[in-house]
Amino acid sequence: MEYKPIRKVVSGNYAAAYAVKDARVQVVAAYPITPQTSIIEKIAEFLANGEVENLQYVPVESEHSAMAATIGASATGARAFTATSAQGLALMHEMLHWAAGARLPIVMVDVNRAMAPPWSVWDDQTDSLAQRDTGWMQFYAENNQEVYDGVLMAFKIAETVNVPAMVVESAFILSHTYDVVEMIPQELVDEFLPPRKPLYTLTNFDNPISVGALATPADYYEFRYKLAKAHEKAKKVIKEVGKEFGEMFGRDYSQMIELYRTDDADFVFMGMGSLMGTVKQAVDILREEGYKVGAAKVRWFRPFPKEELYELAKNVQGIAVLDRNFSFGQEGILFTEAKGALYNTGAKPLMKNYIVGLGGRDFTVNDVRKIADNMKAVIEKGEIDVEVDWYHLKR
Amino acid sequence: MEIPETIKKKLTLPADEHFYAGHTACQGCGASLGLRYVLKAYGRKTIVTIPACCSTIIAGAWPYSTLDANLFHTAFETTGAVMGGIEAALKAMGYKVKGEDGIMVVGWAGDGGTADIGLQALSGFLERGHDAVYIMYDNEAYMNTGIQRSGSTPYGAWTTNTPGGKRHFLEKRHKKKVIDIVIAHEIPYAATASVAYPEDFIRKLKTAQKTPGPSFIQLFSPCPTGWRSPTDKSIEIARLAVQTAYFPLFEYKDGKYKINMPNPKKEPKPIEEFLKYQGRFKYMTKEDIEILQAWVNHEWEKLKKLAEVFG
Ligand SMILES: Cc1ncc(C[n+]2csc(CCOP(=O)(O)OP(=O)(O)O)c2C)c(N)n1
Ligand code: SF4
């Protein structure tokens, strides 16, 4: 079948909901929280209008139960989905470990929202990054199209390696902002994403199984190793699935770090999610003004694309890491990860951390220019002024 | 071992065995007996969810399982939610759930995992109306972590965090009536049961199986380790709990209460009968026993009234 996209003007949240529908998800368990709520509302609307069949919608009483019910559904063999934000994701934390440990390919959308107090419903990546060590894969979407594509790819990748995956989008900047999204006709989605073939199910009554039992020190270690290996394998699968997606639908995701005009760049801006749209636009403008800059958008934070980062880092003089998040007592989380990944490689560009946009603070093209000027000075001097720069601080 | 037909005819319980020897419960454990009865009633076409509790251990460490049924181990407070997810998935995948020939989705959780940390998920499970059976085995404390009080621990009981002693720091609250909280959800079927009355328990399990929607059974399960009782007295203690009306047997079905005591005409025995073999009650004073007796009388009268008015 020839691919003719279906163009719809949708919010990031509706893009997620359409992807859930097109992925033929069988169980959705969810609990409302701003700014995620419209995802689950839209899915309920699909049900109410008879636009989806064979979907069970479980309106649970908390996010902890949302993840628990999704886990139960996935262990039984169904394709299962949930979505949340900030406090909801934090409440799920225990169960995120459970999903990964039980090797369940659940897909969840997290709409990045700042953690309280003080209350804030606006964008901040600390909620999802705080789940770093739960064993989930994490994909950061730049725009609504990537939310839609991300959910479809996440199911395929998760179900190949039996590891759950989180698709992350920004509060309001994506979740509630409308944009054109090219959706894929159902038959082609079906071709790309066939029904799930579970690693195990709880429905083999001739040969019953037990999942998640106690493991003694003689065995627990190996369970962890296998999960670690699955993440290693995921890197390969992510690239393959991203390439296949590109071949089928024209949008290539074969790189875990999307490089933008980095070939001859002196230094690059590195970051994740929607802010990288602004950065790319700024790069175009700065290039016209004579700056030799590029952008490196980290799409997959887990597994971490160490090798791709090295390839980039050995060819640039500096990396300005933009973190819309913070790990207290240290620095921006992507900054730590990137520095750590390069330590033993021999690639030693100057690296500086800019903390930007926390709690929804605007981040504009002009901000990128100011950072570019600062970074240029740093490179000319050959040493960094401050390692962690709270860029927007009111002084 | 094949059971000869002649013996089979005399059995009052299903002969089928789906809970194997080699489990790691203590001697005289009521919970392990209870789980055995559940699987006798439902057979292999069952998906059991077990949260953190003694049964996590009883079921055996990887790669072994004493259950001849599918089993999903889950986090302490999630039994109700996981059961909901399993049931939803089965329906989405086109399976028949509950009823004579459907798949039985069973939650098997302790009193702590039900009355305390899991109460919210239990409530959600009941209120959403999933076709599944939640069984709370009630050994009246957190046994797996070493005998700490739970909401279901009775007045006057020693536990490791209500240790009695000189200052008399005993459990001072009466047992939380989880069954009343459950019934407040107006689900189709709820019942109490005891490992001392397996025929009654299995009949209730079968009723739960036949009744669409969520069912709940609170099963009285002695724990010799936590109750400081002789391992050969578990069944006798469980029987005395019923005979003293400390843990009366009853059913709530379609809005109606029905008491099912073994000797309906007999007056309950004094509470001391129930307390006698159990070291956990040894710190109780005479007044403590009176307070407990008063509570038992009150609750028993309440139940009789309910059965009278809504019988
Ligand atoms: C979130 C969480 N908190 C605490 C625990 C520790 N924990 C494991 S089992 C248990 C007690 C279980 O008690 P109960 O449900 O009454 O079952 P029993 O052990 O008596 O069979 C506790 C507190 C846990 N596993 N998870
Ligand atoms: S501690 Fe009690 S409930 Fe736990 S296995 Fe032993 S007897 Fe059974």
Q: Are residues A242 and A284 in the same domain?
A: no
Cβ contact, residue pair B89, A61, below 8 Å: no
Q: Are residues A108 and A153 in the same domain?
A: yes
A273: in domain: yes
A319: in domain: yes
User: Taking 90 as the threshold, does the pLDDT of residue B169 lie above it?
Assistant: no
Global ipTM:
0.96
Within an 8 Å CB–CB cutoff, is residue A152 touching chain B?
Answer: no
Within an 8 Å CB–CB cutoff, is residue B25 touching chain A?
Answer: no
What SS3 class is residue B182? helix
pLDDT for position A83: 98
Task: For residue range B192-214, list pLDDT tens digits in order.
Answer: 999 999 999 999 999 999 999 99
pLDDT for position A395: 82
pLDDT for position A321: 98
pLDDT band at A137 (very low <50, low <70, confident <90, very high): very high
- Read off φ and ψ for residue B185, nearest 5 degrees: -80, -5
Dihedral sign for Cα B170, B174, B175, B181, please.
Answer: negative
pLDDT band at B164 (very low <50, low <70, confident <90, very high): confident
Smallest-distance ligand from the CA of B234: 2
Instruction: Using DSSP bridges, classify how beta strands B256-259 and B250-253 pair: parallel, antiparallel or unpaired.
Output: antiparallel
Q: How far is the CA of B286 from the centre of ligand 2 (A)?
A: 29
pLDDT for position B167: 66
Domain that holds residue A159: 6-249
Q: Are residues A23 and A154 in the same domain?
A: yes
Within an 8 Å CB–CB cutoff, is residue A343 touching chain B?
Answer: no
Give the whole-number percent of chain A exceeding pLDDT 70: 100
Q: Are residues A61 and A98 in the same domain?
A: yes
Q: Are residues A118 and A226 in the same domain?
A: yes
**Closest by alpha carbon to A83, among A3, A176, A1, A167?**
A167
Distance from C-alpha of A241 to C-alpha of A190, rounded to nearest angstrom: 14
CB of B251 closer than 8 Å to CB of B167? no
Within an 8 Å CB–CB cutoff, is residue A52 touching chain B?
Answer: no
pLDDT for position B172: 86
In this structure, the residue with its CA closest to atom 3 of ligand 2 is B223
User: Taking 90 as the threshold, does the pLDDT of residue B310 lie above it?
Assistant: yes
Residue after which a domain boundary falls, among A249, A275, A294: A249
Residues of B in contact with A94 (CB under 8 A): 75
CB of B189 closer than 8 Å to CB of B212? no
Domains of chain B, CATH where assigned: 22-310 (3.40.50.970)
pLDDT band at B5 (very low <50, low <70, confident <90, very high): confident
Q: Are residues A267 and A230 in the same domain?
A: no
Mean pLDDT computed over every residue of chain A: 98
**In this structure, what CATH number is given to the domain that contains residue A380?**
3.40.50.920
Residue after which a domain boundary falls, among A204, A219, A249: A249
Which numbered atom of ligand 1 lies nearest the CA of B142? 13
Task: For residue range B83-94, list pLDDT tens digits in order.
Answer: 999 999 999 999
Q: Are residues A222 and A269 in the same domain?
A: no
Cβ contact, residue pair B83, A72, below 8 Å: yes
* The length of chain B, given as a count of residues: 311
Distance from C-alpha of B272 to C-alpha of A78, rounded to nearest angstrom: 52
Q: Are residues A215 and A322 in the same domain?
A: no
User: ∠ at Cα A65 (A63, A66), nearest 5°?
Assistant: 60
Q: A4, exposed or middle or buried, with CB in 10 Å at 0-12, 13-18, 19+?
A: exposed
Task: For residue range A345-361, list pLDDT tens digits in order.
Answer: 999 999 999 999 999 99
| DSSP per-residue letters across A5-42 | -EEEEE-HHHHHHHHHHHTT--EEEE---TTTHHHHHH
User: Taking 90 as the threshold, does the pLDDT of residue A103 lie above it?
Assistant: yes
Mean pLDDT computed over every residue of chain B: 96
pLDDT band at B165 (very low <50, low <70, confident <90, very high): confident
Mean pLDDT of A255-277: 98
Alpha carbon of B216: minimum distance to chain A alpha carbons (Å): 19
Task: For residue range B39-77, list pLDDT tens digits in order.
Answer: 999 999 999 999 999 999 999 999 999 999 999 999 999
> Token digits for A297?
């958008």
Q: Are residues A172 and A283 in the same domain?
A: no
Interface probe with A: pick from B55, B64, B70, most Cβ of A within 10 Å: B70
**Closest by alpha carbon to B146, among B194, B112, B107?**
B112
A395: in domain: no
Cβ contact, residue pair B70, A62, below 8 Å: no
10 Å Cβ neighbour count for A377?
10
In this structure, the residue with its CA closest to atom 8 of ligand 2 is B29
pLDDT for position B7: 83
CA B35 to chain centre: 10
Q: Are residues A162 and A40 in the same domain?
A: yes
Which numbered atom of ligand 1 lies nearest the CA of B226? 20
pLDDT band at B286 (very low <50, low <70, confident <90, very high): very high
Residues of A in contact with B121 (CB under 8 A): 61-62, 64-65, 68
With a CB cutoff of 8 Å and minimum separation 6, the contacts of A169 are A12, A13, A16, A109, A110, A111, A112, A141, A144, A147, A175, A273, A274
Q: Are residues A113 and A222 in the same domain?
A: yes
A394: in domain: no
What is the total count of domains within chain A?
Answer: 2
pLDDT for position B221: 98
Q: Are residues A194 and A332 in the same domain?
A: no
Give the whole-number percent of chain A exceeding pLDDT 90: 99
pLDDT band at A302 (very low <50, low <70, confident <90, very high): very high
Cβ contact, residue pair A60, B84, below 8 Å: yes
Task: For residue range A179-219, list pLDDT tens digits in order.
Answer: 999 999 999 999 999 999 999 999 999 999 999 999 999 99
Is the Cβ atom of B76 under 6 angstroms away from ligand 1? yes
pLDDT for position B12: 93
